[in-house]
Structure 1
């Protein structure tokens, strides 16, 4: 951690002031829910004009069509902690790329979402045991996950790195660049899987290994970046690019790899096929691109929604 002590102190003091001003030090909201972020949220309506497509709706099970809802398992978007994927506007309403996408899909399928909140580690098991019809939480496609659930892809996200401005690295291109540094990430994710698989790389190269710290929320990660206890945050590309643009004292270090992200459904459920078909209609009609442009992440979508694409991880 080759950062000047005064720079660390200044960064930590600035972040602590932000945490105090937001009234909480226990949730990710505290770090990114600034007035500037709130006023910068895009407000274009890119969903309400969409109408139900009878052919798409017919692909849903009769039980779903009869009740008019799909049970969605997800984590609750709080403040601006997970933008551009999801967050809250000043009124507390959930907003974000993922929210617009799922609302657009529901419009085409002629149903509403019955949103039920869980935690990242509990959503996929909830889909498996029938608690939810669909899971959505920026789930990347992996071989292990495809063994227990189906994926209907709707965007391409990646695995990227964020560091403090005064970090002694200008960029990170491979896991070997992390050697000797402290890396923070979330448990139970593809990020943990990648870091675990690469743990022996540094020793093989004769370098000091990287140290990994796991946090269920992002607030302690950002605080760690500010006070020098964390060198690098390994997380989703879209979120980290947003962080670098909105959090003072941070810099985007680059992307390691990319992964398709999708809605998850029970194995063999017809709901997965219906979701993929709805996303593909959004793509064909141009509504998909309008949603991505609204959130400033044009070019990160998929050309086609696939059901269970080959997994690289």
Structure 2
């Protein structure tokens, strides 16, 4: 909602773009809600160009970027003896369904879990000479599960925050952040501050950092002498994508990697930029030696070039890190 109750300027897509975007959005929703078997006209792994309206491709990239990763006995020795004896790390995460969680995680046509996070953790496991014993929870229960010893490691695109670092340790492996995806028909091609949103209809998720940022900045448009932005909240991304297609939503404010991926795969959308960044990492119990082993394994992948190949596969090379650290300094 706007702060002064006035009606923001509405901008709509041209009719040809509207029809194409709506059709593509419907395909995305069907794929996300189904088993991932929707047919596509593109070859697996093909992508468009972010910022150029995207591609009609919805196929999931299939190249193998993990099997050639080599084990490092010295890094494996950093794991606790109990882990080495059983040969596995117990991982807590949420279960991926369909394709709506990509590039982080989703399911392919065969029902196999795939994604950036999956490739990264599997590569880390190969470096450390162990397997993952994957167990599922919900986003709010994974970190407590790590704290109480149910899981050795948690992974679910967890951003490192000051509050979280008080109770668990983070071994970083990625940067994510707060970004904007626009309908291709809107006039702006870049958002570098909240005042660039003035006059637009913006969608985001409720109870999130994104909502906090938009609420805190709601007065900036009036201060700049511009029409306010209007915010709509959706717990699911499907209506947001539909809204971008039918002109009811101009801009989606959400996580950087997901929006960059959407810009590559959803026609008539464009990536508008990022205003802040958040380090993402594996979560371990406070003081656990597993954190260092994971961090060192990520650095091994970076040095060998395997890390870059994984990110390139999923089209998110710009969100990579130059090195993993434990408990990074954070903004939030």
2:167 paired residue among 123, 141, 148: 148
**1-structure distance, mates of 2:160, 2:292:** 16
Query: Residue 27 of structure 2 aligns with which residue?
Result: 18
1:163 equivalent among 182, 207, 227: 182
Structure 2 counterpart of 1:270: 289
Report deviation, 1:294: 2.6
> RMSD between aligned alpha carbons?
2.9
Instruction: For CA contacts below 8 A with separation 6 or more, give which structure has more relative contact order.
Output: 2
Q: Is the 8 A contact 1:265 1:272 kept in 2?
A: yes
Identify the match of residue 44 of structure 2 among 39, 43, 67.
39
Matching of residue 90 in structure 1 with residue 109 in structure 2: yes
Q: Work out whether residues 73 and 127 of structure 1, in 8 Å CA contact, stay in contact via their aligned partners in 2.
A: yes
Name the residue aligned to 1:124: 143
Q: Residue deviations 1:106-131, cap 9 Å, x none?
A: 11222211222233333333323333
Q: Which residue of 2 aligns with 1:65?
A: 84
Shift of 1:138: 1.8
Partner in structure 2 of residue 221 of structure 1: 240
Distance in 2 between the 1:196 and 1:126 partners? 32
**Contact kept? 2:11, 2:200, Cα under 8 Å:** no
Q: 2:270 matched to which residue of 1? A: 251
Unaligned runs of 5+ in 1: none
Which residue in the other structure is 2:257 paired with?
A: 238
Distance 1:196 1:63, change over 3 A: farther
TM normalised by structure 1 equals 0.85
**How big is the shift at 1:177?**
1.6
CA separation of 1:158/1:14 partners in 2, compared to 1, >3 Å: closer, same or farther?
same
- Structure 2: distance between partners of 1:31 and 1:216: 21
CA deviations 1:237-288 (Å, max 9, x no partner) are: 2221221121122222122122221111222222111110111111122222
Residues 2-53 of structure 1: CA deviation (Å, up to 9, x unaligned): 2168568635752565268x3x7xx566999652467233333222233433
**Is the partner of 1:191 in helix, strand or coil?**
helix
2:9 matches 1:3: no
With the length of structure 2 as denominator, give the TM-score of the two structures. 0.81
Name structure 2 gaps, 5 residues minimum: 1-9, 46-59
Q: Secondary structure at the match of 1:45?
A: coil
Query: 2:155 maps to which residue?
Result: 136
Q: Distance in 2 between matches of 1:185 and 1:176?
A: 17
After superposition, the Cα gap between the structure-2 partners of 1:48 and 1:5, relative to the gap in structure 1 and judged at 3 Å, is closer
Q: How many angstroms apart in 2 are the aligned matches of 1:36 and 1:79?
A: 18
Contact 1:121-1:188 within 8 A present in 2 as well: no
The residue that corresponds to 1:293 in the other structure is 312
**Among candidates 193, 209, 220, match of residue 201 of structure 1:** 220
Output the CA distance in 2 between the equivalents of 1:208 and 1:165: 21
